[in-house]
A and B are shown apart, each in its own frame.
Chain A
Amino acid sequence: MTTDSTLLSARGLSLFFSEIPALVDVDIDLWPGEMLAVVGESGSGKTTLLNVLSGRMMPDAGTVWYRDPSDRLHDVQAMPAPDLRRLHRSEWGFVHQDPRANLRMGVTAGGNVGERLMASGARHYGQIRAAALGWLQQVEIDADRIDDLPRTFSGGMLQRLQIARTLVTNPRLVFMDEPTGGLDVSVQARLLDLIRSLVSRFRIAAVLVTHDIAVARLLAHRIAVMQRGRVVETGLTDQVLDDPQHPYTQLLVSSVLQA
């Protein structure tokens, strides 16, 4: 049996936007190296969940626990702001649907990657540039683009640059909000393959929010289905998608067009 400890655990998360329930009594567990997909239609609370889990938003009730590398538990919502910021700069990463939310468009590609390393304490210019170059290559951006500005990049390249910037500090936990949303299908496939190989190679745990259940199937070990702020079904990805138990999951799965 698997008895090892969770990396992230949330219990009883609730959050209301005036009368509208965004989260209702949500429990989430994530183990090291595991990819959990959160699926559901727009407005189901998936992105809110991601924001609360990552401490970017306060819930009305409930707790999120994070276990650091020295096995200490931290209450994410009670953590002092500087500690949380430090976490977001190093052990954690956040990949936004729109890479512009995370990148600095007036700084070169290499600078964007190196900057996060510097923010987490690196000082040696040569090493920072070498690390940036290494990560650009990991995400399949040509080395000779290192001094180009992101605004000369395509949407898919920007997303890959954001991923390089996020992973350069070797995070153990990455939050991803629709990372393949808004991209052409061919670009999406390449990005999916990239994310999948990087998270497995570096044993990164991830919470992936997506409305695309095909993306969840290809990437996630486990899946949580959300409807109106509640997790209505959770389990092994292929089990939930192939043998859905909850009426809403059955509707979601049966509504997908077969490609």
Chain B
Amino acid sequence: MLRTEALAKGFTLHLRGGLHIPVLAGIELDVRRGECVALAGPSGAGKTTLMRSLYGNYRADGGRILVRHRGTMLDLAAADPRTVLAVRHETLGYVSQFLRVVPRVPALDLVAEIAIARGTPPDRARADADSLLSRLNIPARLHGLPPATFSGGEQQRVNLARGFIGGQPILLLDEPTASLDDENRAVVVDMIRQAKASGTAIVTIMHDAATRDSVADRLFRLTSLQEAA
């Protein structure tokens, strides 16, 4: 579903006199249908950089990011912006650590709009969003409110609902359970297992080892290029 070949990524800091910081080199990751791979490694090893590169949020410096999209393997690293948007829309879902949305839009609409954009009729999308938010223990009285005033955990759960409602066949989850209590963490673990069972390929970063081990089929270890150098 998702495979990288010799993926490399670094950052050139022009404001620091052109300092170049290599972060990833020679990354060969392969994720299959229904499989959950957890990125592991010390802080600074490039887990989030890899995750963001897989989503096309960071531009790869070298190598390929092959994604199964509309039946063929497409190189996301070489795709034009509009193709990247189409891949995200249809194929590649992403749950970031922070919710970043237009202010003033109610939580329910923020979740439903993802499904509507993917072709679900608005009524169905709103019903799905409602049950997904409820499953994530966002009380019904909050569904009609914009999430700006929600707690960190509540915002993260709105974010998760946005990630899961689309049903894209590949899902990238960056710390999906970080600010959740045990009860909500269990709900998310359940949702991940369910997505896997229906064939979704998942790449995740989770610092909590117990949660990680309960969903991940294997770990993909990253080592810091800075220390190796």
Q: Which A residues are within 8 Å of any B CB, using their own CB?
A: 1-2, 31, 34, 189-190, 192-193, 196, 200, 217-218, 221-222, 235-236, 238-239, 242-243, 245-247, 250-251, 254
Contact = CB atoms under 8 A, between A and B. Distances in A.
B100 to A, nearest CB: 8
Contact of A1 (B59, B81, B83, B100): B83
B228 interface: no
Interface of B: 11-15, 52, 56-59, 79-86, 100-105, 117
A221 B12 CA distance: 25
Contacts of A239: 56-59, 81, 84
Given A236-B56, A236-B84, 8 more contacts: A221-B85, A222-B81, A239-B56, A242-B52, A243-B59, A245-B12, A245-B59, A251-B14
A68 to B, nearest CB: 21
Please list the 7 inter-chain residue pairs (A to B) with the smallest Cβ-Cβ separation, ordered nearest first: A247-B14, A189-B103, A236-B81, A243-B58, A2-B82, A193-B104, A189-B104
A159 B83 CA distance: 34
A203 to B, nearest CB: 12
Contact of A254 (B15, B79, B83, B100): B15
A190 B146 CA distance: 12
A242 B14 contact: no
Nearest to B109: A197
A242 B80 CA distance: 17
Contacts of A250: 13-15
A217 B81 CA distance: 14
B117 to A, nearest CB: 8
A46 B143 CA distance: 39
B86 to A, nearest CB: 7
30 contacts: A1-B79, A2-B80, A2-B82, A2-B83, A34-B82, A189-B102, A189-B103, A189-B104, A192-B102, A192-B103, A193-B103, A193-B105, A218-B101, A218-B102, A222-B81, A235-B59, A236-B56, A236-B81, A238-B57, A239-B59, A243-B57, A243-B58, A245-B12, A246-B14, A247-B14, A250-B13, A250-B15, A251-B14, A251-B15, A254-B15
